[in-house]
Amino acid sequence: MDIEKYYDRIYRYIFFKVNNKALAEDLTQETFLRFLKTEAKEPDRFLYTVARNLCIDEYRRIKPVSTDDEEALNVSCEFEDDLVTKVSLRDALEKLDPEDKEMVILRFVNEEPMSELCRIFDMSRFAILRRLNRSKSILKETLERRPANER
């Protein structure tokens, strides 16, 4: 398996979940250490499952520490280029159900194909599409309700 192919995706996924650069690096490293100790048949699914579980464990251990806006800009993200929109998008993402937020991050930030989402979440393509469309509607509505001076 080509670890470099998956490393950035897993790091971005974890960063969006924990919102802390140093912690995301540590959890990403732990994810790959656990992967190397096993013989996973489906590396994508295994890596995302381990990463998700490590994030959950971290949330249980301590409340996540929010980052400053400068750190958030260091994560490559194709949503928008201006800082205000990124901060607003992060706030809008927090309004989603945790699993829906995870789907949005995997699909639109990590650009995972639908087939991978179906395997990761053990859901049909139709169910994934329905939840992604609902999540996009919630995000759009939340972002449109922002005051004009924040756009």
Domains defined for the chain, CATH in brackets: 1-74 (1.10.1740), 77-151 (1.10.10.10)
Distances (CA, A) of 124 to 71, 111, 130: 36, 18, 10
Sign of CA dihedral 132, 2, 73, 25: positive
Of 33, 34, 29, 28, the closest CA to residue 15 belongs to 28
What average pLDDT does range 73-99 have in this prediction? 63
* pLDDT for 130 beyond 90: yes
Q: What is the pTM of this model?
A: 0.57
Q: How confident is the model at residue 127 (pLDDT cuts 50, 70, 90)?
A: very high
* pLDDT for 135 beyond 60: yes
* pLDDT for 105 beyond 80: yes
Calculate the average pLDDT of the chain: 79
Q: For position 95, what pLDDT does the model report?
A: 84
What average pLDDT does range 124-142 have in this prediction? 90
